[in-house]
Structure 1
Amino acid sequence: MTIRHLRIFIEVADSGKMSVAASKLFISQPTVSQTIRELEEYYEVLLFERLCKRLHITPEGKKLLSYARKVVKQYDDLEEKMFSISGVNKIYIGATITVGNCLLSNIIQRIKENNPKIEPYAYVNNTSTIEERLLKSELDIALVEGKITNPNLICIPAVDDYLVLVCSKDHIFSKRKEVNLYDLQDMDFVMREKGSGTRQLFEDYLLDNGVTIKTRWETNCPGAMKSAIIEHQCLGVLSVRLVEEEIKNGEMKLISNPEFKWERNFSIVYHKDKIIDKTMEEVIEVIRRYKEIDILEKLY
Structure 2
Amino acid sequence: MTIRHLKIFIAVAETGKMSVAAKKLYLAQPTISQAIHELEAHYHTQLFDRLSKRLYITETGRELLDLARNAVRAFEDLELHMENCTQTEHFRIGATVTVGSCLLPSLLEDFRQRKPQVDTFSFIGNTAVIEDKLLKSELDAGIVEGVIKSPDLISIPMVEDYLVLACSKDHPFASLTSFCPSDLEGLDFVMREKGSGTRALFEEYLHASHIHIRCRIEAPFPEAMKHAILYNHCMAVISVRLIEEELQKGTIHMLPHPEHAWNRTFNLVYHKDKLLTDSMFHLKNLLLQYRRPEIG
| Superposition TM-score, scaled by structure 1 size | 0.69
Q: Which amino acid aligns with 1:264?
A: R
Cα shift readout 1:163-190 (whole Å, capped 9, x = no counterpart): 0001100001112354321010000000
Counterpart of 2:86 in structure 1 is 84
Counterpart of 1:145 in structure 2 is 145
Cα shift readout 1:49-94 (whole Å, capped 9, x = no counterpart): xxxxxxxxxxxxxxxxxxxxxxxxxxxxx98874232xx2110000
For residues 115 and 256 of structure 2, the distance between their equivalents in structure 1, rounded to whole angstroms, comes to: 42
Contact 1:142–1:268 (Cα < 8 Å) also in 2: yes
For residues 223 and 232 of structure 2, the distance between their equivalents in structure 1, rounded to whole angstroms, comes to: 13
Q: Which amino acid aligns with 2:239?
A: S
Counterpart of 2:30 in structure 1 is none
For residues 234 and 82 of structure 2, the distance between their equivalents in structure 1, rounded to whole angstroms, comes to: 47
Partner SS for 1:281? helix
Contact 2:160–2:293 (Cα < 8 Å) also in 1: no
Counterpart of 2:293 in structure 1 is 294
Q: CA 1:211–1:143 in 2, change beyond 3 Å: closer, same or farther?
A: same
For residues 193 and 277 of structure 1, the distance between their equivalents in structure 2, rounded to whole angstroms, comes to: 33
Q: CA 1:231–1:259 in 2, change beyond 3 Å: closer, same or farther?
A: farther
Contact 2:189–2:214 (Cα < 8 Å) also in 1: yes
Contact 2:189–2:236 (Cα < 8 Å) also in 1: yes
Contact 1:229–1:235 (Cα < 8 Å) also in 2: yes
Counterpart of 1:192 in structure 2 is 192
Counterpart of 2:264 in structure 1 is 264
| Superposition TM-score, scaled by structure 2 size | 0.70
Structure 2: 5+ residue runs without aligned partners? 1-79
For residues 269 and 167 of structure 2, the distance between their equivalents in structure 1, rounded to whole angstroms, comes to: 32
Q: Which amino acid aligns with 2:187?
A: M
Shift of 1:293: 4.3
Contact 1:164–1:260 (Cα < 8 Å) also in 2: no
For residues 271 and 120 of structure 1, the distance between their equivalents in structure 2, rounded to whole angstroms, comes to: 18
Counterpart of 1:17 in structure 2 is none
State how 1:2-81 maps to structure 2 within 5 Å.
none
CA RMSD, aligned part only?
Answer: 1.7
State how 1:85-124 maps to structure 2 within 5 Å.
85=87, 88-124=88-124
Counterpart of 2:8 in structure 1 is none
Q: CA 1:149–1:205 in 2, change beyond 3 Å: closer, same or farther?
A: same
Shift of 1:115: 1.2
Counterpart of 1:3 in structure 2 is none
Q: CA 1:177–1:295 in 2, change beyond 3 Å: closer, same or farther?
A: closer
Partner SS for 2:172? coil
Shift of 1:126: 0.2
Cα shift readout 1:212-233 (whole Å, capped 9, x = no counterpart): 0000000111000000001111
Contact 2:240–2:293 (Cα < 8 Å) also in 1: no
Q: CA 1:112–1:101 in 2, change beyond 3 Å: closer, same or farther?
A: same
For residues 211 and 151 of structure 1, the distance between their equivalents in structure 2, rounded to whole angstroms, comes to: 31
Contact 2:159–2:292 (Cα < 8 Å) also in 1: no
Shift of 1:261: 5.5
Cα shift readout 1:31-64 (whole Å, capped 9, x = no counterpart): xxxxxxxxxxxxxxxxxxxxxxxxxxxxxxxxxx
Shift of 1:283: 2.1
Structure 1: 5+ residue runs without aligned partners? 1-77
- Structure 1 residues 261-270 or 130-139, which shifts more? 261-270
Q: Which amino acid aligns with 2:95?
A: A
Contact 1:244–1:295 (Cα < 8 Å) also in 2: no
Aligned length: 217
Contact 1:165–1:261 (Cα < 8 Å) also in 2: no
Cα shift readout 1:256-275 (whole Å, capped 9, x = no counterpart): 55146611000000011100
Q: CA 1:256–1:139 in 2, change beyond 3 Å: closer, same or farther?
A: closer
Q: CA 1:220–1:176 in 2, change beyond 3 Å: closer, same or farther?
A: same
Q: Which amino acid aligns with 2:108?
A: I
Q: CA 1:229–1:276 in 2, change beyond 3 Å: closer, same or farther?
A: same
Partner SS for 1:117? coil
Q: Which amino acid aligns with 1:295?
A: E
Counterpart of 1:165 in structure 2 is 165
Contact 1:181–1:259 (Cα < 8 Å) also in 2: no
For residues 183 and 260 of structure 2, the distance between their equivalents in structure 1, rounded to whole angstroms, comes to: 12
Select the structure of larger CA radius of gyration: 2
For residues 123 and 80 of structure 1, the distance between their equivalents in structure 2, rounded to whole angstroms, comes to: 24
Q: Which amino acid aligns with 1:291?
A: Y
Contact 2:165–2:257 (Cα < 8 Å) also in 1: no
